């Protein structure tokens, strides 16, 4: 069971790791100082969650693993994140829409994991709730602000939503690991989360004066290790220091 929990921790942590890196790319490039700092802080929050997941995973690995080796020294196929979080920072509308679509999943996921039979996972979720609630509020408010702003901001946000919406169904694709963790009371019930997710997402989309895209789900298997072309470029940057200078320590 420890091996299964290890794999599940990667599924949870990799989304925050890759999205946190995407947000870190924006440091110094936000549309205003306040927003720039907010996005950087969200990135730091996500990395804090990643550290908690990967410290636990390192303990379960039974090898000379550490949070750093798990984060930086796996191959592309060993990452379990969704395709959504890999998508690039094309413009501010894409950044906000991607964040909103993730936050709307992550917040109820953390709520559900607070009841996990695994005490460490439950504790991480409890610790993450306050941050996740802020992230969801931040991205939801920006969705409404951009959607209800100018004609140009509405059009750009609609274009971002049309591009990113096909990736969100992957959150609810139940792998054999997801099913086993659910049945053992450790992981989330993705089917239960799905109804909550689409109710909340569609409400905000309507409030943002946007059109809900027709379901046109992309075939994505990020949780099984199959990724878009973007992840390789992310890892080339993310892993550079650890691979160029092995065992470096701060």
User: Please, are residues 193 and 105 in contact by the beta-carbon 8 Å criterion?
Assistant: yes
Q: What values do phi and psi take at 220, rounded to 5?
A: -130, 140
32: number of Cβ within 10 Å: 8
Q: What values do phi and psi take at 219, rounded to 5?
A: -80, 105
Rounded distance, CA 59 to CA 28, Å? 36
Going from the first residue of the chain to its last (250 residues), give the mean pLDDT of each consecutive group of 10, the final group possibly shorter.
92 97 92 91 97 96 87 95 97 98 98 97 96 97 97 98 97 96 97 96 98 90 94 94 82
Confidence at residue 128, expressed as pLDDT on a 0 to 100 scale? 96
For the whole model, what pTM was predicted?
A: 0.95
User: Please, are residues 129 and 114 in contact by the beta-carbon 8 Å criterion?
Assistant: yes
Confidence at residue 220, expressed as pLDDT on a 0 to 100 scale? 85
Rounded distance, CA 241 to CA 225, Å? 23
Q: Residue ranges of the domains in the chain?
A: 2-218+227-244
Confidence at residue 63, expressed as pLDDT on a 0 to 100 scale? 76
DSSP 117-169: SSHHHHHHHHHHHHHHHHHHHHHHHHHHHHHTS-HHHHHHHHHHHHHHGGGGG
Confidence at residue 250, expressed as pLDDT on a 0 to 100 scale? 63
Rounded distance, CA 146 to CA 208, Å? 7
Confidence at residue 62, expressed as pLDDT on a 0 to 100 scale? 77
Confidence at residue 192, expressed as pLDDT on a 0 to 100 scale? 96
CATH superfamily of 2-218+227-244: Ferritin, core subunit, four-helix bundle (1.20.1260.10)
Residues written for the chain: 250
Confidence at residue 247, expressed as pLDDT on a 0 to 100 scale? 78
């Amino acid at each position: 069971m420890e091996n299964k929990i290890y794999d599940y921790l990667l599924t949870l942590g990799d989304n925050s790791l890759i999205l946190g890196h995407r947000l870190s790319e924006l440091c110094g490039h936000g549309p205003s100082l306040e927003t720039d700092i907010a996005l950087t802080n969200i990135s730091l929050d996500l990395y804090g969650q990643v550290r908690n997941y990967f410290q636990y995973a390192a303990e379960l690995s039974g090898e000379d693993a550490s949070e750093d080796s798990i984060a930086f020294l796996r191959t592309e196929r060993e990452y379990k994140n969704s395709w959504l979080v890999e998508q690039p920072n094309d413009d501010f509308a894409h950044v906000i829409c991607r964040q909103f679509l993730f936050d709307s999943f992550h917040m109820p996921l953390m709520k559900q994991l607070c009841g996990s039979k695994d005490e460490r996972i439950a504790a991480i979720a409890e610790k993450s709730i306050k941050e996740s609630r802020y992230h969801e509020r931040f991205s939801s408010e920006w969705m409404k602000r951009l959607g209800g702003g100018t004609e140009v901001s509405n059009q750009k946000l609609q274009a971002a939503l049309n591009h990113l919406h096909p990736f969100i169904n992957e959150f609810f694709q139940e792998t054999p690991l997801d099913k086993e963790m659910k049945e053992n009371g450790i992981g989330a019930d993705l089917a239960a989360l799905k109804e909550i997710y689409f109710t909340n997402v569609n409400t905000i989309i309507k409030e943002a004066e946007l059109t809900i895209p027709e379901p046109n789900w992309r075939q994505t298997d990020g949780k099984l290790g199959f990724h878009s072309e973007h992840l390789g470029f992310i890892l080339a940057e993310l892993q550079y220091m650890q691979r160029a200078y092995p065992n470096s320590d701060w």
